[in-house]
Structure 1
């Protein structure tokens, strides 16, 4: 076969235009049976999986990168200076710090990458393929050249292929060509991997897979990381980091200048300044927060929610408006047939039979599935076996119907099913009162039914109306309860549906959403009317100004001509309409409980207006045309069963139906956010505490509270266990949460000052009251910083509540922080850490510092609660 001869490298363009039978012959496949399972396995081994893996940095490259950059350079220079002055213990421990920092950062990145790979595996795309004469679903990566696949609306073309049916397809190739307009495809035309089927349904033969396609793509982790850098999350990290770097560098420079004035040893002074800077700048902040989100993403995956973009977790935590599709999210997305309305002389079985001919079971279309189920119940198999479908025209959004031509008992018939008004329009003979049919349709619509019309044309006769099939998608049993729960969480749930206003209001009432349902058309029509009035006034005034003597009739003719021309331009260019005042449109959208008669392009409009009102919006979607709205939303959510295009555009992909999955995801996202915020406040607090203490003690008292080596050990003990914050228990916030830099810096600043106050009280007691030796005082300060340091995390994790409030710390967090405090205590008590590093303080001072730190821990908690109470009274933060 051609693909085999060329090592599967045949370009799809080389085979385009060939008749389907000849193409199948060249690829050694069958249009009727496809490949056999054995042959497919052989080709998979020969050509490899259908995936294009982007080149990833090697493990060694990622590891060595940790030793290159401003922070590693500072640590390396500090180690070099320690060696130059003969401080070999310092050199060894600084080197250990460098290795630990690199190792922890490397481990964090590897963990995040592994988490994302697991999530991507859960999102493996499926393809409908003909194998051994049966249509089956397989993973896209298992496709091979010669496979016969079926494509329909919303599918991403899984590999380079050639259209094999005499059918019409409209394909979006913008991802490849940049051309925004869809391209029409006919038999023999090429279909490129990554394109999106916009209209139509057809079979195609796979020509090339994996790296041999014209353009194969998978989600690249590196590109994902770059997108993260543009998120709210990274902006917050940069703001925190910048503030701490500026403060640290400024105070360290003051310390350096003060030391130079005192004529201290330049190398020692420089080494101390470098070590203090390295220990104070929160180099681990981005990595810790990223790992926290990666761990959270795995938790979300266990709850049937797949995260495609890590920063979407932070955005989901801040969502205050959820624009939810009615179908599948609020309802069961399981259509059931109510009482069939046959049109005389037809019977209910006739309606189902003719609808069955215009359906395909292998498509698993939710509208058609109840028809097959009803046909089975009515035992129509024998009647169906007497018919052979010779032509089938799939549904498309423009014609709004499915058609089929069949030969039944030797007689040719044509059948159609689809939107009732469209079907009625095709009928030349209704054999009854058409008004009665319309009254039935109105009655069914008002009661929330979706209706299919069925038409029949027998050879040589007129098209006749067969009857109506009412379909009903009942609300999910838990929807009303979940909506009430969402509102308790500060989530405003707005229903989005393409159904008629009457159906939307009925469902909204049943679910307790509210009855303020806005017909999207009202906005357009009202806007057009107001625009026309405004245009008429302006044109009339301008014409009168330039031609004062014109008659009233002449003015009217001119105004009418200009307005008609402008309207034509708006319609032709699809510019929409100039609405009434923007603020009024935003208000209408914001105050509505739901939206009816919504087309996919309207979703983008709704999201935009809600965002202009200052809301963080989550939008659900499932179709290819939902992709722009999913991209526009702060958090795009592809619901269960969404098309490939919708999943690719979304931030989150749901693996289970219903609103409950989304609400659970919001709750968990808020927990993850609380973990990140508590760590951010903790890290800023510790930087303020250490840097201010060192600056004040050295500048004003010419006293070094700790040695450079102690700072290095403190940094080691602080960085290792804090990763456990990703597994902490946290309270679910009652309202949406967002990064509030004023809150983070204010609370951390006051806690840092409280820590400095406790340190200076200890400084006064040890120097002025007890007059202890300098080296012992430094050990005591080391003990104080190591014991009190991780205590701060227990202050920051409960925000405006006392530290003993629920939820209690996780066993992982408590074990990690307690063990490092105990280790630090042993180091201070015995003065040993891979060698003699400080003056032993003994157990008396060790236990005394624990008691002192616990007392100040309670005081710090009182400071924290007081600061939060003040911020809440000022309206600067929301109560938790």
Structure 2
């Protein structure tokens, strides 16, 4: 709403400053405009569960379940159903845990408002405010809605969470105050002009609703899954066609069993459990981060954090403390810094919470020096004359102290010549470095003597510089983004070692933020900049989008409402300790301890998670190629490979039964989920998804594994084994695929030799060992499969251990592909 006179505004809003709205009218407006809150989309339990049962992979599992019922294969039915439910439960449970953590955070903010209704002042939930309500705002209150000041002396507000300005802003009669800003000094009566999505906060939230970046790794994993599904479908069609041609006699039940077996083969080979494995890996990483005082609200952002190569960091409250402090004291000749600071404290409101007064009080080394002074009178800050004044007594003598804007104090002292030039030069020098200046003078109330100048600044957080330098060492380019002036931004950037190429946002994006068009020139400026000053929310959002359009993986840190759109748009948004509710809701990582040092730890933890997922992806693709191609080859040309132990049911040489395939899927993937605990490698720079490397390594390892499995079948048929039937050969193949698969994981988890550090974490190692022991018992005692001898079991184990050495050597070479 445009700024208009208070009388005209009250008429336009049809309200009364003395009586406020009546309850009936307030209810009508509440129904018309809605709650003074941001709407949240509600997702039903059915909508959350549906994705786990609807899609190409769930359809295949469900079809296999139906066919098992039709053919009355009850064992197959139970085990396949268990696989489907297990996958759905794990995915849903991890998503629910993350959402519950975020919901708990949102409950921290429950604002109240002191409103005039029915001629009575009363406290109501801020969400029930309507346009036209008369509201009282005092020291410490959070402004509950956009409003215009009707009466009161003045109001100093901290709106850094909204605009990024580090210094409090003074508001006078007829000025507008924004929802979410905090009253630091004064008290006023206001009339509400906008609520909910129509506030400055709400308009920013619209950007948040539009923002959002998809995880690159999640997208790549999806494409890998789709590729494997297509390949598996093509090979399955070939397999079904040849079996229908070769098998005789061919009846309805046989056809259904062939189709079901091929469906189960697809379930066993396609990465059915990949979503569950990745969910568990990320969720356990989130649990580890929570121990570092960081709450993860969007699980898939952790994998993005591992790949981040640009960090866009808000300055105020993120890199700095959002708390003014005295940066320097510059007294005139003959005055000591301690005396000047003492006088600065005496000219401070002893009962107030003014941030400038607090900064000077905190800077005074010894409070003992104040005991010899008595304050007779204190005149608080007046935004019109821009100074405070104290009448002080010491040793029976009375004098005045004034403190305020340096230009005002200099003028009061009537300085001339070199004295004026020297003081003005110091003030200009401080301004050029982004410091706020404060002048101090003493006198008798009529004539004044200039004592000196204070420089004030928002100090860096203790760990900001070390964290920034550590991130740069990890190959992450740090860019500072702030609503403050260019001079302030440059000074902070130099202190942090970020660089001095700080650009004004309007110089890059112009002033028309409604019709902003990204150009190649803008892209180059954004990429090369060390940071940006005088930034608005739309600028932050666009900066992140521009960097993403150039292929960068972006993280964004912030704490204010003005950071929310960029936090959500970023690949990984990070809300620092003390962030607003809007910033926390938009962020993916929420820090609960002050400072940024946890980000460095979070990046390393994310790299471990990335490494664990890559280990699984290499393994899963290779195993898919191994099982599918091996099964097709043996089925099609088995009669040429196997001569001693041929099948008894016609010409079907399918190497695995349906129950073996389902067992293989469970035995492969359930223990593999413990890879989430593994002692993973940490890359020296950003962890980058390299599609060429992934497919090359996986394909070659998969093909070599096919050769390994076929060689075992041929060797076993030649007579080294004690098997006497085709069903025992199937058991031998089943054991080979389980043992070879798990040993392959020990290879894919390392970029070096499988027997070098870091060794597997004990949970992963124990899970695989226990699974292998179970498979030994399963194949020896004939649980769900035809039993084989202990000698054959040991042969398979020795055979696979020998193959680990050439597989590891080839993996090391292939993983060096750029």
User: Do they fold alike, i.e. is TM over 0.5?
Assistant: yes
Is 2:808 the counterpart of 1:856?
no
Q: Measure the CA separation in 2 of the matches of 1:580 and 1:839.
A: 67
The Cα RMSD (Å) is 5.5
2:438 aligned to which of 448, 453, 464: 453
Q: Measure the CA separation in 1 of the matches of 2:411 and 2:156.
A: 23
User: Could you say what secondary structure the match of 1:615 adopts?
Assistant: coil
Alignment CA distance shift 1:266-1:609 (3 Å): closer
Is 2:696 the counterpart of 1:741?
no
Q: Measure the CA separation in 2 of the matches of 1:262 and 1:373.
A: 90
Name the stretch that deviates more: 466-475 or 688-697: 466-475
Alignment CA distance shift 1:668-1:258 (3 Å): same
**Structure 2 equivalent of residue 437 of structure 1:** 423
Q: Measure the CA separation in 2 of the matches of 1:53 and 1:499.
A: 32
Name the stretch that deviates more: 646-655 or 377-386: 377-386
**Structure 1 equivalent of residue 274 of structure 2:** 285
Unmatched tracts of structure 2, length 5 or more = 1-9, 25-36, 115-122, 163-170, 203-207, 393-399, 639-651
User: Could you say what secondary structure the match of 1:641 adopts?
Assistant: coil
User: Could you say what secondary structure the match of 2:689 adopts?
Assistant: coil
Q: Measure the CA separation in 2 of the matches of 1:402 and 1:822.
A: 85
**Structure 2 equivalent of residue 675 of structure 1:** 612
Is 2:274 the counterpart of 1:337?
no
Is 2:82 the counterpart of 1:99?
yes
Is 2:89 the counterpart of 1:75?
no
Q: Is the 8 A contact 1:359 1:402 kept in 2?
A: no
Alignment CA distance shift 1:201-1:250 (3 Å): farther
Is 2:790 the counterpart of 1:843?
yes
**Structure 1 equivalent of residue 764 of structure 2:** 813
Is 2:748 the counterpart of 1:796?
yes
Measure how far apart 1:706 and its partner are. 1.0
Measure how far apart 1:689 and its partner are. 1.1
User: Could you say what secondary structure the match of 1:720 adopts?
Assistant: helix
Is 2:740 the counterpart of 1:781?
no
Measure how far apart 1:121 and its partner are. 2.9
Q: Measure the CA separation in 2 of the matches of 1:106 and 1:663.
A: 33
1:730 aligned to which of 661, 664, 680: 680
Q: Measure the CA separation in 1 of the matches of 2:94 and 2:288.
A: 14
Measure how far apart 1:655 and its partner are. 3.0
Q: Is the 8 A contact 1:780 1:841 kept in 2?
A: yes
Q: Measure the CA separation in 1 of the matches of 2:727 and 2:517.
A: 78
**Structure 2 equivalent of residue 697 of structure 1:** 634
State how 1:519-534 maps to structure 2 within 5 Å: 519-521=502-504, 524=507
State how 1:247-286 maps to structure 2 within 5 Å: 247-263=231-247, 264=250, 265-286=254-275
Alignment CA distance shift 1:756-1:156 (3 Å): farther
Is 2:100 the counterpart of 1:117?
yes
State how 1:495-574 maps to structure 2 within 5 Å: 513=497, 516-521=499-504, 524=507
Q: Is the 8 A contact 1:328 1:658 kept in 2?
A: no
User: Could you say what secondary structure the match of 2:759 adopts?
Assistant: coil
User: Could you say what secondary structure the match of 2:753 adopts?
Assistant: coil
2:664 aligned to which of 696, 714, 730: 714
1:348 aligned to which of 327, 340, 350: 340
The C-alpha deviation readout for 1:380-436, integer Å capped at 9, x for no partner, is 9996684475x876xxxxxxx996889989xxx998856x56x67997956884432
Measure how far apart 1:720 and its partner are. 2.0
Measure how far apart 1:696 and its partner are. 0.9
Q: Is the 8 A contact 2:137 2:190 kept in 1?
A: no
Q: Measure the CA separation in 1 of the matches of 2:580 and 2:62.
A: 52
1:654 aligned to which of 581, 591, 609: 591
Name the stretch that deviates more: 343-352 or 281-290: 343-352
Given the two structures, how large is their TM-score scaled by the length of structure 2? 0.73
Q: Is the 8 A contact 2:554 2:570 kept in 1?
A: yes
Alignment CA distance shift 1:699-1:636 (3 Å): same
Q: Measure the CA separation in 2 of the matches of 1:19 and 1:408.
A: 41
Alignment CA distance shift 1:852-1:629 (3 Å): same
The C-alpha deviation readout for 1:74-115, integer Å capped at 9, x for no partner, is 4344344344445x4xx2243233124313421332133113
Q: Measure the CA separation in 1 of the matches of 2:536 and 2:448.
A: 33
Measure how far apart 1:599 and its partner are. 3.8
Measure how far apart 1:486 and its partner are. 2.9
Q: Measure the CA separation in 2 of the matches of 1:99 and 1:113.
A: 21
Name the stretch that deviates more: 338-347 or 747-756: 338-347
User: Could you say what secondary structure the match of 1:864 adopts?
Assistant: helix
Q: Measure the CA separation in 1 of the matches of 2:52 and 2:389.
A: 69
Alignment CA distance shift 1:628-1:101 (3 Å): closer
Q: Measure the CA separation in 1 of the matches of 2:190 and 2:324.
A: 34
**Structure 1 equivalent of residue 705 of structure 2:** 755
Measure how far apart 1:275 and its partner are. 1.3
Q: Measure the CA separation in 2 of the matches of 1:662 and 1:760.
A: 49
Name the stretch that deviates more: 73-82 or 143-152: 143-152
2:779 aligned to which of 818, 822, 828: 828
User: Could you say what secondary structure the match of 1:735 adopts?
Assistant: coil
Q: Is the 8 A contact 2:387 2:404 kept in 1?
A: no
Alignment CA distance shift 1:810-1:580 (3 Å): closer
Q: Measure the CA separation in 2 of the matches of 1:206 and 1:108.
A: 49
Alignment CA distance shift 1:474-1:144 (3 Å): closer
User: Could you say what secondary structure the match of 1:337 adopts?
Assistant: strand
Q: Measure the CA separation in 1 of the matches of 2:580 and 2:358.
A: 18
State how 1:558-707 maps to structure 2 within 5 Å: 585=525, 589-590=527-528, 594-595=530-531, 599-600=535-536, 607=544, 610-611=547-548, 613-701=550-638, 703-707=653-657
Q: Measure the CA separation in 2 of the matches of 1:383 and 1:580.
A: 64
Name the stretch that deviates more: 224-233 or 284-293: 224-233
Given the two structures, how large is their TM-score scaled by the length of structure 1? 0.69
Alignment CA distance shift 1:230-1:478 (3 Å): closer
Q: Measure the CA separation in 2 of the matches of 1:715 and 1:632.
A: 37
Alignment CA distance shift 1:148-1:793 (3 Å): farther
Q: Measure the CA separation in 2 of the matches of 1:205 and 1:345.
A: 47
Alignment CA distance shift 1:340-1:457 (3 Å): closer
Q: Is the 8 A contact 2:523 2:546 kept in 1?
A: no
The C-alpha deviation readout for 1:632-667, integer Å capped at 9, x for no partner, is 544333333344444444333333344432222211
Q: Measure the CA separation in 2 of the matches of 1:839 and 1:206.
A: 83
In the alignment of these two chains, the number of paired residues is: 736
**Structure 1 equivalent of residue 283 of structure 2:** 294
The C-alpha deviation readout for 1:261-297, integer Å capped at 9, x for no partner, is 1145312211211211222222222232233222222
Alignment CA distance shift 1:262-1:109 (3 Å): same
Q: Is the 8 A contact 1:355 1:454 kept in 2?
A: no
Measure how far apart 1:757 and its partner are. 0.9
Unmatched tracts of structure 1, length 5 or more = 1-12, 28-49, 132-139, 176-184, 219-223, 394-400, 529-569
1:765 aligned to which of 698, 715, 722: 715
Q: Measure the CA separation in 2 of the matches of 1:458 and 1:18.
A: 49
1:471 aligned to which of 456, 472, 489: 456
State how 1:60-209 maps to structure 2 within 5 Å: 70-86=56-72, 88=73, 91-122=74-105, 125-126=108-109, 166=152, 196-197=180-181
Q: Is the 8 A contact 2:576 2:594 kept in 1?
A: yes
Q: Is the 8 A contact 2:409 2:441 kept in 1?
A: no
Measure how far apart 1:244 and its partner are. 0.7
User: Could you say what secondary structure the match of 2:803 adopts?
Assistant: helix
Q: Measure the CA separation in 2 of the matches of 1:127 and 1:404.
A: 36
Q: Is the 8 A contact 2:138 2:183 kept in 1?
A: no
The C-alpha deviation readout for 1:576-604, integer Å capped at 9, x for no partner, is 99999557636xx52x6x34755456655
Q: Is the 8 A contact 2:325 2:363 kept in 1?
A: no
Q: Measure the CA separation in 2 of the matches of 1:649 and 1:67.
A: 29
User: Could you say what secondary structure the match of 1:653 adopts?
Assistant: strand
Q: Is the 8 A contact 1:162 1:207 kept in 2?
A: yes
